[in-house]
Amino acid sequence: MTRPPHAADRPGLNLFVCIKQVPDSAQIRVHPVTNTIMRQGVPTIVNPYDLFALEEALRLRDEYGGSVTVLSMGPPMAEEALRRALGIGADHAVLITDRRFAGADTLATSYALASALTTLGREQPIDMVLTGKQTIDGDTAQVGPGIARRLGLEQLTYVAAIDRVDPLRREIVVRRRSEGGVQVLASRLPCLVSVVEGLNEVRRGAVADVLRAARAEVVTWSATEAGVEDPMRCGLRGSPTVVRRVFAPSPRQERAQMVAVTGKRPSQLADAVLDLVLTQQPKLEAALADGPVRRNRP
């Protein structure tokens, strides 16, 4: 069993980025019987959000020193996604692959990834784990918080900017995207940061890195080598979520209706729209009767 090089020779931050190989969304097909995404023969890409997470880690390494390790749980073909990350500039790559991981839901996925991070953390104490906000296939945004909970890390989700990191004072300040706007959060290292799209511009990767990526070793671990203590908590067996049916939603039937209203004040515009809606849905008027919305009846 091989391990990534020791961190002692690289002061700075030990940064770990979780990346997932996903089907190229334009080509997604669902298996009619198992209700799972058919991955064989479908072009794959690195989950776009994870590329922003990787770029952010590379920027932190360039600024504070240290190392960037990319980690993925997936079938052997996920090595491709890790090589892409090495080609962009990651220092080390670890693939955890095992038939026992198949069919994992987010609980089982975060368990397997947290186990591998614990094992890696023994060699390189974790300063920060970075993930994408979500994947474009499962789309649950649950794995990042699941890993943070399992490793006891501070979790900073939906991060739109990392404003300050102080490796010595173990401090971090981020801007987080939230419904009401932007929150500025101060927290402590080690932490997990899940990033939103567009917080940076993903670099192309220097030629030297692309060449190195082609030859570099991708450390490949089974569940046992990754330090998974209880294989029953992995894969389909470890997944309380049962995907009943995956299907493409039927396209909406109703057409949008254009309301042509010119030279009217906004309130009159609102009245005209309300008129149209209530004419088409008379029952709605009764329902609204108790609420704040009233039709201005002459």
Ligand X SMILES: Cc1cc2nc3c(=O)[nH]c(=O)nc-3n(C[C@H](O)[C@H](O)[C@H](O)COP(=O)(O)OP(=O)(O)OC[C@H]3O[C@@H](n4cnc5c(N)ncnc54)[C@H](O)[C@@H]3O)c2cc1C
Answer yes or no whether residue 235 interacts with ligand X by CB under 6 A. Answer: no
- The residue among 49 and 61 lying less far from ligand X, judged by its C-beta, is 49
Specify the residue, 36 or 296, whose C-beta has the smaller distance to ligand X.
36
The DSSP annotation for 192-233 comes to EEEE-TTSS------HHHHHHHHHS--EEE-TTTTT-S-GGG
Does residue number 131 form part of the binding site for ligand X (CB under 6 A)? yes
Q: Is 44 in the site for ligand X (CB under 6 A)?
A: no
Chosen residue from 89, 121, 144, 227 binding ligand X by CB under 6 A: 144
Amino acid of residue 134:
Q
CB of 290 to ligand X, least distance (A): 37
- Parallel, antiparallel, or unpaired for β 21-23 and 44-46? antiparallel
Q: Which residue is nearest to ligand X (CB)?
A: 138
Pick left, alpha or beta for residue 158 (phi over 0 → left; psi -120 to 50 → alpha; otherwise beta): left
* Among the listed residues 84, 69, 70, 94, the one whose alpha carbon sits nearest the alpha carbon of residue 10: 69
Residue type, 272: A
Q: Kindly give the residue spans of alpha helices, DSSP state H, lying in the chain.
A: 48-64, 79-88, 106-123, 143-151, 207-215, 266-280, 282-289
Dist CA 65 CA 61 (whole Å): 5
Residue 147 structure tokens: 């890993």
Q: How many residues bind ligand X (CB under 6 A)?
A: 31
Among 69, 72, 97, 157, binds ligand X (CB under 6 A): 72
Cβ-Cβ contacts under 8 Å for 22 (sequence gap 6 or more)? 44, 45, 46, 47, 135, 136, 137
Residue 56 near ligand X by CB under 6 A: no
* Binding residues for ligand X restricted to 153-172, rule: CB under 6 A: none
Number of helices (H), then strands (E), in the chain: 7, 11
Q: Which stretch binds ligand X (CB under 6 A): 71-79, 149-157, 163-171, 207-215?
A: 71-79
CA angle, 195 as apex, 210 and 124 as ends, to 5°?
Answer: 65
Q: Examine residue 20 and tell whether it contacts ligand X (CB under 6 A).
A: yes
Q: Are 21 and 45 in contact (CB under 8 A)?
A: yes
> Between 149 and 264, whose beta carbon lies closer to ligand X?
149
Segment near ligand X (CB under 6 A); pick from 84-92, 120-128, 239-247, 268-276? 239-247
Contact map string, positions 78 to 117, toward ligand X, x by CB under 6 A: --------------------------xxx--x---x----
Task: Give the span between the Cα atoms of 164 and 61, in whole angstroms.
Answer: 13
Q: Which of 7, 13, 15, 18 binds ligand X (CB under 6 A)?
A: 18
Rounded least distance, CB 298 to ligand X, Å: 51
Residue among 67 and 131 whose Cβ is closer to ligand X: 131
The minimum distance between CB 22 and ligand X, in angstroms, equals 8
With 0-12 / 13-18 / 19 or more C-beta atoms within 10 angstroms meaning exposed / middle / buried, residue 28 is: middle
Q: How far is the CB of 239 from ligand X (least distance, A)?
A: 7
Nearer to ligand X, 136 or 278 (CB): 136
- Interaction site with ligand X (CB under 6 A): 18-20, 37, 47, 49-50, 53, 72-74, 104-106, 109, 113, 131-132, 134-135, 137-144, 241, 243, 246
